Structure 1
Amino acid sequence: MKTSKLTPAVAVLVGLGAALAGAGPAQAAPGFAFDQRISGPDRFATAVAASKLLSPVDGSATDVVVVNGYATVDGLTASYLAGLRSAPVLYTDTRAVPAVTTAEIDRLGVEHVWIVGGTDRVPAAQQQAWEAAGLEVTRLAGADRYETAALVAQVDDEHAPEQVFIASGTATADALAAGPVAWARNHPILLTAADSVPAPTAAALRELGTANRVVLGSPASVSESTYTALGGTQRIGGADRQATAAAIAQDAIATENFDPQSVALTGGTDATAADALAAAPVAGSQGVPLLFTGFDGGLGAGTTAYLTAQKANYTRSGNGWVFGGEPSVRQATADAATAAVQ
């Protein structure tokens, strides 16, 4: 049987986990704060800011994953693809490729553009322009989000994944919360309906042959009957998207060698999904779990509870990242997150 490859990002995480294991119990440090905001004036610029954090050296990335910045459901599984290629996720618009995106592709020295989504999301003219500029372009697009996810999940035909995430195709935050782990560990993300398994998802599961199938979200997002039909082996979920993200964070630290001393915060509404997707590559590369703010813009009960329970782990050497500007994550909310870990 084929085995999953060990990417450079994963090797870094393995070393990080070993170092932390020998460091002894961490003590709370007053110096930890959510004081590193990665943002720009819009979602396109925020994605570029995340890309620069991932790849600060010019000419250091051969690949980039591009999705529509206003239809991120097409890119829910893009974090897995980006991880395979050690690539960032950047955004385009149907009207034109934003100047900041074009400039970042040039700065990175990209040779291969991976498009996730159909021509109604990323127009053929944009693909043709990249090809005319000498770039290799691969488009992954199906008839719907489920088929697109299935195509992305099967893009690596040389290595069978050790684990597959399966999340709701409509309650999209659960897939986004797993993005950093999908990037770092090469775990593809498939999508399902709440009460049935879409045909493309079932076919992809058969083709991948992966027995370890982790279902994300509560039974309200993926029913128990669907969990059984999927052949689920584990469910990671909570009462809402904040609690589910917290549960995914706990699992990432416990089983994937993610850094217990660092954490990233992003907006918890559907309107801020673009920031969470753009955060996945840089968070995954550093083994930093991702949490969501509350629906009302506050910190939210689930996130507050997680940070309070984990606060002894956060030290001055850890990173408190905030992805997205205001009002995606209000400064008062970032301050509340800092207060929760003191």
Structure 2
Amino acid sequence: MQKGSKKVLSVCSVATLLIAGTTLPAAVKADSSNQVNRLGGQDRYETAAKVAQAGWTSSDYAIVANGEGYADALCSIPLAKAKDAPVLLTSGGSLNQNTLNQLKDLNVKHVIVVGGTGVVPESVLNEIKAQVSDVQRLGGQDRYETSVRIAEALKTKPVKAVIASGEGYADALSAGPSAAINGMPILLTRQNSLPDAEANYLKTNSSITETYVIGGTGSVSDSIKDLFTSPKRLGGADRYETNTAVLKEFASSFNFGNIYAALGKGPIGNEFADALTGGALAAKNKNPLIITGYTLSSSTKDFLDENVPKNSTLTVLGGTGNISDSLADEIKDAFGKASNGGGGGGSTTATDITADIVKYYGPKIQDTIASNPDLGKYYDVDTTDSITLKVKGSYEDKITTVQDIFNNVDKADVGDINTPGTIAYRVQKIYDLASAHVNAAKIDGKTFQDFLIAEKAKDSKFSQYIKDGGSIDVQLVAQKIKNKEIDYDSYTAFITSLESAIKDSVNLSNPSPTIAIKGTPFSINRIEQDNKVLYDSSLSREVNIDDILGVTSTVGTFKVYVDNGNSYFYITIQG
């Protein structure tokens, strides 16, 4: 979205900006009695595999790191988020079998190995290459240079960065999901001296105007902190207070409907693995990650009590040897004072103003949507008692989810774009709806066709389906679907590639704006669908593009925050 443009949108055009989207993470079943899940295996390698299974049904990318030494892997969570990739572990001179199985099961095409040959030997890379053709190593002379290599691999011009100690793992792990969600690299430093690699990176990345220094002076001294641009220290008396300080700072980035918990301290001193691999999943789902010892610290307990709704779900990372069932219950029991309805970091004291919105502004909202040339032809709007949009058309006309394209293709004809029920009609309908919502939003003034042209220019495997003018070759796609050469997984791979084309063709460094609602004094700060964040003006444009591309359906109930997050109202879209 353009800074300051105050682009006038219908109140649902961001929520339904793209009905196309990437595959949602596999649901983790909760115990309905206490809402506690566990993702754990016999060891950290199997736990990493279970985390990957819970978050990804397929993945183009995977990160592979050493499972015994934390140093090189600490900074990999932002890269994992950028690549939508799980973090898998290995050790020794051969590839761990759990990791190999996941590379196969997820149909991984690109592997990024983190660390030099001292932590992940060439013999392991050769085993990976036997399964995956594209294998890249990101490693330096030491952990500090490796953190820079990972930051460079993000291929962005960051405006903020996280600084954490490379001489311990707790602080960097605490910052991992927050940094990843907000597109910030994690750079490692020594307590009392700044490594040359970090100093050089900061010199060549003058776009960084804010830094978050994680941990107390025992981790990063004041003399080092003061070397950074606009530094802000997020630390406490111990790793648990530091963890909660980070979570409080970035609370607006999180969906508090689920909390991940991992062991952050133990007798061996390398109890980092579950928080590392689970941190990638937490970042993907925009959930907070707490670290704990074998007992729950008072600072963590207070944070959970004050910030996490009672009915939120707890997902424990690792087996009972790390976090016992009794400790898991204690963590879940600490959820308390926060509103049960907020979710996603919205204000816990926000007021529901749906009735007032309907009473005073309903007709204006209805007119705004109805008169929008892109949206009005797709929705009937009713603001009599609530704000309800209904998709126009007969039953067979109503294509509201991506999955609708692929339903009963064996019985459907390829047909044409004007015949409801045919595959070509379904493809055209999805294309029209996606185009309508993107064109209504106008990211940097660009249309959906502009983004398709950018995708075609990449000369990717999907270019064959895009015409020169920036439209989909509907008949070709429909025939491929009928022949089962294109399925839902192929479609989601296309959306992932399109996401890359969008990010390459807009200015990601511009802030995200609030969105004015025509005819009212309100501007939208945040939109959620079933506690999933779709748009948040406090987050980066890159994060918001990820969220919008994660929408798979136009139908549902949307919670719209206005008045700086102090108020909200609901919109229902019916199929």
Report the TM range for the smaller structure's normalisation: 0.7 to 0.9
Select the residue among 309, 324, 338 that pairs with 2:332.
338
Give the match's secondary structure for 2:112. strand
Give the match's secondary structure for 2:296. coil
Select the residue among 318, 323, 332 that pairs with 2:317.
323
CA contact (8 A) 2:194 2:224 kept: yes
Select the residue among 265, 268, 274 that pairs with 2:264.
268
Structure 1: gaps of 5 or more residues: 1-13, 16-30
CA contact (8 A) 2:110 2:132 kept: no
State the distance in 2 between where 1:193 and 1:229 align: 13
Greater mean deviation of Cα atoms: 237-246 or 326-335? 326-335
Select the residue among 296, 300, 307 that pairs with 1:299.
296
Check 1:33–1:193 CA distance in 2 against 1; reply closer, same or farther (3 A cut): farther
Select the residue among 233, 236, 240 that pairs with 1:235.
233
Give the match's secondary structure for 1:277. helix
Once the two structures are TM-superposed, the CA of residue 229 in structure 1 deviates from its matched residue by 1.3
Select the residue among 72, 86, 89 that pairs with 1:88.
86
Give the match's secondary structure for 1:190. strand
Give the match's secondary structure for 2:217. coil
Are positions 1:70 and 2:68 aligned together?
yes
State the distance in 1 between where 2:132 and 2:335 align: 49
Identity of aligned residues (%): 32
Give the match's secondary structure for 2:225. helix
Match of 1:150 in 2: 148
CA contact (8 A) 2:35 2:314 kept: yes
State the distance in 2 between where 1:163 and 1:225 align: 20
Once the two structures are TM-superposed, the CA of residue 124 in structure 1 deviates from its matched residue by 0.4
CA contact (8 A) 1:215 1:232 kept: no
Match of 2:29 in 1: none
Q: Deviations over 1:74-97 (max 9, x none)?
A: 100011111121101000112321
CA contact (8 A) 2:70 2:270 kept: no
Match of 1:141 in 2: 139
Match of 2:287 in 1: 288
Amino acid at match of 2:298: A
State the distance in 1 between where 2:170 and 2:34 align: 25
Check 1:92–1:341 CA distance in 2 against 1; reply closer, same or farther (3 A cut): same
Give the match's secondary structure for 1:74. coil
CA contact (8 A) 1:32 1:315 kept: no
Are positions 1:45 and 2:46 aligned together?
yes
Once the two structures are TM-superposed, the CA of residue 330 in structure 1 deviates from its matched residue by 1.5
CA contact (8 A) 1:182 1:189 kept: yes
State the distance in 2 between where 1:259 and 1:204 align: 32
Q: Which has the higher contact order (CA 8 A, sep 6+)?
A: 1
Q: Which runs of 4+ in 1 moved over 4 A?
A: 31-34
Amino acid at match of 1:327: G
CA contact (8 A) 1:34 1:334 kept: no
Q: Deviations over 1:259-299 (max 9, x none)?
A: 133321111214320000001111011111111113xx111
Where do 1:113-262 residues align within 5 Å? 113-157=111-155, 159-209=156-206, 210-254=208-252, 256=253, 258-262=254-258
Structure 2: gaps of 5 or more residues: 1-13, 16-31, 337-575
Amino acid at match of 2:161: V
State the distance in 1 between where 2:197 and 2:255 align: 34
Hey, which of these two has a bigger chunk of helix by percent? 1
Match of 1:79 in 2: 77
Once the two structures are TM-superposed, the CA of residue 73 in structure 1 deviates from its matched residue by 1.6
Structure number with bigger Rg: 2
Amino acid at match of 1:260: F
CA contact (8 A) 1:262 1:314 kept: no
CA contact (8 A) 2:93 2:124 kept: no
CA contact (8 A) 2:94 2:127 kept: no
Once the two structures are TM-superposed, the CA of residue 66 in structure 1 deviates from its matched residue by 0.4
Once the two structures are TM-superposed, the CA of residue 197 in structure 1 deviates from its matched residue by 0.8
State the distance in 2 between where 1:328 and 1:131 align: 33
Report the TM-score, using the length of structure 2 for normalisation.
Answer: 0.51
Check 1:120–1:287 CA distance in 2 against 1; reply closer, same or farther (3 A cut): same
Check 1:118–1:338 CA distance in 2 against 1; reply closer, same or farther (3 A cut): same
Once the two structures are TM-superposed, the CA of residue 232 in structure 1 deviates from its matched residue by 4.4
Give the match's secondary structure for 1:272. coil
Match of 2:309 in 1: 314
Give the match's secondary structure for 1:271. coil
